[in-house]
Amino acid sequence: TLFRSLRTTPLLPALTRKYSPSHITWVTDAESVPLLLNNPFVNRLRAFNLENSLSLLGEKFDILFSLDKEEGPSALATKIKANQKFGFGRNELGNLIVFNEASAYAYQLGVDDELKFIQNQKSYQEIIHEMAELPFDRAEYVFCLPEEEEAKAKRFFKQHKVSRTRPLIGLNTGAGTKFETKQWPAENFLELISLLDRKFKPHIFLLGGHREKKMNLWLERRSKIRVFNTGHDNSLLEFAGFISLLDLIVSSDTLAMHLAIALKKKVVALFGPTSPAEVDLYGRGTKLFAAASCAPCYKQICQDGECMSAITPGTVLKAIEAQLQCP
């Protein structure tokens, strides 16, 4: 998952403090590689594929951290030679196991719905620090966006004569690829656009990718006020470049939300099927959670989508107003 790779980066400062000097090899899915290319803590970056996996199997490490429960990465972590291992692996039957006792809580979150959905109040960052047996100091994401990746967004601003005297608000309209249940209704976005115009007269930007092309075109056509459609063909870092120029982002629990957190933007985050407890906005945002009787459920498909539709445009407007008033 793209955002999982990004929100794991707060582990790096504590890791390098404890193990100094160190040489860090980071293995992630190919899509996430651009998010880590310029990370000052990562000495060697590898995409998770067959060739790199075979290469890593020929090496030996002092310490290995395996923070992903997915079958492929945890199986690779089991086979890689290392003097000490933390996190998740696989046994001879292919079942998930933990390498160290401190990872037992994270393991339990995956099998105990009561613990994950209701009882847990630890953020993802706190959980992975616990797994790695590192002190938790609420470190921020480590994400370095090259200046050239903002160039497309800056040209867009210039072309459309965007004035920075107004609030610049981004609406990330998608729900990601895994959980369709994170989708906030298009009609709610349309109503929010109208409410925002009456209240703040902001510049409003529609954010998304190929999956959001149809919705964003619909919003652009149906809106009675001008909105800026940033397009659906931006690269991952160009997408981040647009977010970097905005003041506030409205998003469900998706990559756009995590990019906004990483770029230290104000965020109004909409939660339904996933738990807001695991996300840290670092004091720069508001988490909205309607707490439907069935939520959070972590279901990928739902018939009614009550948990998301119950978050009203008026509620989102109030959260935006509160954030814009914060210094």
> What kind and span of H or E run contains 89?
strand 81-90
Residue 309 is predicted with a pLDDT of 83
Residue 1, pLDDT score: 45
- 77-98 residue pLDDT tens: 999 999 999 999 999 999 999 9
Name residue, tokens 């970056």: 45
Give the tokens for residue 245: 């120029």
How crowded is residue 185: how many other Cβ atoms within 10 Å of its Cβ? 14
Task: Say yes or no to pLDDT of 23 above 50.
Answer: yes
pLDDT tens per residue across span 307-321? 788 899 999 999 999
Continuous segment of H or E residues that includes residue 47? strand 44-47
Considering only residues 298 and 223, tell me which one the structure prediction assigns the higher pLDDT: 223
DSSP 296: S
102: confidence class by pLDDT, cuts 50, 70, 90:
very high
What CA–CA distance (Å, rounded) separates 306 from 124? Answer: 25
Res 24 pLDDT > 60: yes
Provide the Cα torsion 240, 261, 71, 33; round to 10°: 30
- Residue 296 CA to residue 304 CA, distance in Å, equals 14
Residue 49 has pLDDT above 90, yes or no: yes
Q: What are the residues facing 252 on neighbouring strands?
A: 270
Query: How much is the pLDDT for 198?
Result: 96
Give me the pLDDT at residue 292, please.
Answer: 62
Question: What's the token pair of residue 91?
Answer: 């046994």
User: pLDDT band at 299, cuts 50/70/90?
Assistant: low
At what angle are helices 186-200 and 313-325 packed, to 10 degrees? 40
- Tokens representing 285? 């945002």
Q: Which of 2-16, 86-100, 292-306 is least confident?
A: 292-306
Beta bridge partners of 168: 203
Rg (CA), the chain: 21
pLDDT tens-digit series, residues 176-187 = 666 677 889 999
Q: What is the DSSP secondary structure assignment for residue 139, as one 8-state letter?
A: P
Distances (CA, A) of 313 to 38, 71, 268: 37, 39, 12
pLDDT of 300 > 80? The answer is: no
C-alpha–C-alpha distance, residues 254 and 175, integer Å: 6
Q: What is the pLDDT of residue 308?
A: 81
What's the pLDDT tens digit per position in 241-282? 999 999 999 999 999 999 999 999 999 999 987 889 999 999
pLDDT of 163 reads 87
Over range 40-62, report the average pLDDT.
Answer: 96
In DSSP terms, 248 is beta-bridged to 169, 266
| Chain mean pLDDT for the chain | 92
Least confident of 3-17, 67-81, 220-234: 3-17
Query: What pLDDT shows up at residue 302?
Result: 66
Tokens 């870092």, residue located: 237
Q: How confident is the model at residue 125 (pLDDT cuts 50, 70, 90)?
A: very high
d(C-alpha 318, C-alpha 195), whole Å: 10
Which range, of 96-105, 134-143, 305-314, averages the lowest pLDDT?
305-314
Mean predicted confidence (pLDDT) in 110-116? 88
Q: What is the DSSP string of 103-124?
A: GHHHHHHTT-HHIIIII----H
Q: In the numeric block, which tokens belong to residue 128?
A: 């992975």
**Alpha-helical segments (H) within the chain:** 2-7, 11-18, 33-36, 50-57, 71-79, 104-109, 113-114, 124-131, 151-159, 186-200, 213-222, 236-244, 255-262, 306-309, 313-325
As a whole-number percent, the residues of the chain with pLDDT over 90 amount to 82
Whether pLDDT at 169 is above 70: yes
